[in-house]
Amino acid sequence: MTIPSNNAFLPDDVLSGKEKRLFLSSALLSWYNQNGRDLPWRVRGAHPNPYVVWISEIMLQQTTVKTVIPYFYRFLERFPDISALANADIDDVLLLWQGLGYYTRARKLHECAQFLNQNNGGKFPETYSELLKLPGIGPYTAASISSLAFDKREAVVDGNVIRVISRLYGIAESTAVSLPEIKTKAQDLMSETRAADYTSAIMDLGATVCTPKNPDCSVCPFEGECEALARNLIDEIPKIEKLQKINKIGKLFWIENESGDVFIRKREEAGLLHGLTEFPWEAVEGNDEMLNKISFPIPNADWVDTGKNVRHVFTHINLTLKIFKTKVLENEADLKNLMKTGGQFVSKDNFKDYPFSTLMKKVVKAVESDGNSDSKKRNSKKAKSVESKTFCDFE
């Protein structure tokens, strides 16, 4: 595309810059008209219900569309509006959130609903700056609600936008450094007449065309203007710094009483998996020998190593838990000491009433397996290590 320079009184770069942006924005919206995704929380143009936009945006943080969809339907059915959510018990909110991760999101969602109900007439503010003040709403979500629900010209910057913009303009520095520039360019590119659709469009482009690996540049509306493509830098841009993980190993204690009920407890309200239900466990950084440091929770109990392992990968932790069981706990002193640590015995049939993390669900699955059900997985790895012969690995 040739950019016409039809105004001799303005510097070429300024004029062509603005015209180029208009061209790109127009091309993006045309592409979106034909290729935009239909999603449960989406309409064309501004969305009439900011609550729907809000719930979807919070759920979608660091989460894939496919994962979110069933959670979204369940949540909207159970909590159809701000008032319903505000009046709910936080534990009921967590119950619907279990398995979705980043549980702070659920807590802030609940806080925010209560705040809006009490202080803002149960309605969302429409401006970026007001939205930004709300619990759980940061720069991305403030811009997304403002643009998607109220058609304000506030550009979102998420992983998709970072990728699209940094490739389009050939920005090769680390994204942590170039973020302000990316934000400016995304804002400049934003449509002046179709703000909501622009937001959906640039994210759809990043999700379906300008993908991290093997982007389909041949169908991209920016194909002819993309710096990264022209300079063969698609695989180098964006440059994202990776964080490193630590390895932790620990013990999990599966405790049953005479009735076959299992001991569970509630995690603290801060930190990893906060507020969720768990079986007692403790982990330390390091390797197998570190296990000697862990003796919780009943020093004198007759612990049996089940030989079962559960592995779980968090954002910054690789965790391996070895599962230990007691025989039926009937010693009164042990029982008393255990109850002092905080928790309760619950029937397995009632697990569904408590919010468990995926990690704990793996534990349940491991304990309930007979030890042979994973032979197929073990066989596939039999040459790898002694460990995989010795333990059942649930992953």
Residues contributing to the site for DNA (CB under 7 A) = 39, 41-42, 56-57, 60-67, 99-104, 108, 135-142, 144, 158-160, 163, 176, 200, 203-204, 206-207, 212-214, 240, 242-243, 271-274, 312-316, 357-359
Considering the complex, state which of residue 204 and residue 334 has its C-beta at the smaller distance from DNA: 204
**What does the block give as tokens for 154?**
């506030």
CA atoms within a 13 Å half-sphere pointing along the CA-CB vector of 15: 10
In the complex, minimum distance from the CB of residue 388 to DNA, in angstroms, rounded to a whole number:
10
Token pair 């208009």: residue: 22
Considering the complex, state which of residue 219 and residue 240 has its C-beta at the smaller distance from DNA: 240
Just list the catalytic residues.
57
Q: Are strands 246-254 and 317-326 parallel, antiparallel or unpaired?
A: parallel
In the complex, minimum distance from the CB of residue 313 to DNA, in angstroms, rounded to a whole number:
6
In the complex, minimum distance from the CB of residue 101 to DNA, in angstroms, rounded to a whole number:
3
Residue 64 near residue 207 (C-beta atoms within 8 A): no
In the complex, minimum distance from the CB of residue 171 to DNA, in angstroms, rounded to a whole number:
15
CA 99/CA 112 separation, integer angstroms: 21
Considering the complex, state which of residue 213 and residue 340 has its C-beta at the smaller distance from DNA: 213
Residue 312 φ then ψ, to 5° = -145, 140
**What does the block give as tokens for 271?**
């930190």
Q: Nearest CA to 280 among 332, 334, 344, 358? A: 344
Diameter over CA atoms, the chain: 93
In the complex, minimum distance from the CB of residue 137 to DNA, in angstroms, rounded to a whole number:
6
Residue 237 near residue 169 (C-beta atoms within 8 A): no
What's the Cα-to-Cα distance from 101 to each of 59, 140, 246, 356, 382, rounded to whole Å?
9, 19, 19, 11, 32
Residue 358 near residue 279 (C-beta atoms within 8 A): no
CA 68/CA 176 separation, integer angstroms: 27
Considering the complex, state which of residue 210 and residue 301 has its C-beta at the smaller distance from DNA: 210
Residue 23 near residue 101 (C-beta atoms within 8 A): no
CA 68/CA 56 separation, integer angstroms: 8
Considering the complex, state which of residue 173 and residue 330 has its C-beta at the smaller distance from DNA: 173
In the complex, minimum distance from the CB of residue 306 to DNA, in angstroms, rounded to a whole number:
21
Considering the complex, state which of residue 269 and residue 289 has its C-beta at the smaller distance from DNA: 269
Residue 56 near residue 72 (C-beta atoms within 8 A): yes
